[in-house]
Amino acid sequence: MPQPANPCPARSDVRPAGHRRAHHRSQLAMLLGVLYPLLCPASVAAQPLPALPQLDTAQITVSGLSSGGAMAMQLAVAYSGRVEGVGLFAAPPYACADGSVWWALNQCMLTGLGPFFGFMYGSISEWGGLPLSAERMADKARRWAGEGKLDPVAKLATQKVWSYRGLADSTVGDNAYAAIRGFYKGFGNTVQEVPDANRRNVPHAIPTASDGLDVCTVDAPGDEKVFLASCRFDGAGAMLKSLLRRGQDTAALKPGTPVAGSFVAFEQKRYLPAAPGGVLSMADTARAYVPARCRDGSGTACKLHVALHGCRQGADANYKLFTERAGYNEWAETLGLVILYPRAIATGGATSANPRGCWDWWGYSGNQPLNSYAWKQAPQMRAVMCMADALKTGAASCPR
């Protein structure tokens, strides 16, 4: 699979050609010491998040793929007072797993029953998974909000919601897709969806207009996938325009050109809370994309969007690909967005709590009491919201 070229070689690889005099090398070294952090910020040591006073973090938008979509919906429901819009790519619905990885695989996805009960039920991807009750999920949200575990549910009626599932997706089924629609319908809201013409042959992935990614036909073998597909459909752009320009004429809006120097590498571990009785499963470092106009001190207001990768996309090469090729940064330039890319990673081996580096949507990060992974107190959600605040204030850490 083609990987994006690194525009910034290691400092030790940048030196005068041939055997030039020592003072020439010294002069070049001094020049690099000044320019390198400016030209190649993603290559220097990770630091705290920068303070961006012109960034509006009072109202944010979030999105994600698969487990990242589940986390995005959890954030949207739990923090509905601050999350004004959510984009969901192949996502299970809110609190679908009921604190159980078994239910996550068998009720919310298409992956669980096939290997064990295929002789009884036939192809799980054709069958479509176990039935889901959107009404029950909405009732849980109402009850938990009444108990103070979530923001009041009133804002769910006006939250902008965009949902997408490729018709060739054999991981998350149409039942889950329909349950998201039903969940928001229970609050009087309508989910914006994509016509079938832009969903045909799309696998379990974010569809993009870029070449050289996963093929846009059927699901590729699992270990070969990057979960970004070349489908001639700009999924990230469609989603962001829906969340941020809904009701407006967006025909003239075009994606911008990402700038390598706009990436900020930061120490994510500074912002991570403890996960009592569980595994936090988040990386030490992560990235954000900050367009120049959002940090130039001009006072131009910018908005924050949180983009959450799916399972296995937090590994080094796939994470780099997700942050650079998913299609978010082009629209960050056009729409005046800062993109925060939180990062989850696998923990332990195949029998660990999170062997594929998924976001927690079933309770591995400390599911005591049951379903607390879907509440505001959940450690991963607290970390994401803390990082969102730190981008505004420049805070170097968060309360544990």
Q: Which sequence positions are flagged as catalytic?
A: 66, 169, 204
* Alpha carbon 353 to chain centroid, angstroms: 20
Could you give the CA distance from residue 359 to residue 172 in angstroms, rounded to a whole number? 15
**Cα distances (angstroms) measured from residue 297 to each of 293, 332, 338:** 8, 17, 14
Could you give the CA distance from residue 46 to residue 337 in angstroms, rounded to a whole number? 21
> Are 188 and 159 within 8 A, CB to CB?
no
> Are 256 and 298 within 8 A, CB to CB?
no
Phi, psi of 341 (to 5 degrees): -115, 80
* Alpha carbon 384 to chain centroid, angstroms: 10
> Are 283 and 297 within 8 A, CB to CB?
no
- Sole residue written with tokens 């010294």: 26
Could you give the CA distance from residue 394 to residue 340 in angstroms, rounded to a whole number? 14
Could you give the CA distance from residue 73 to residue 66 in angstroms, rounded to a whole number? 11
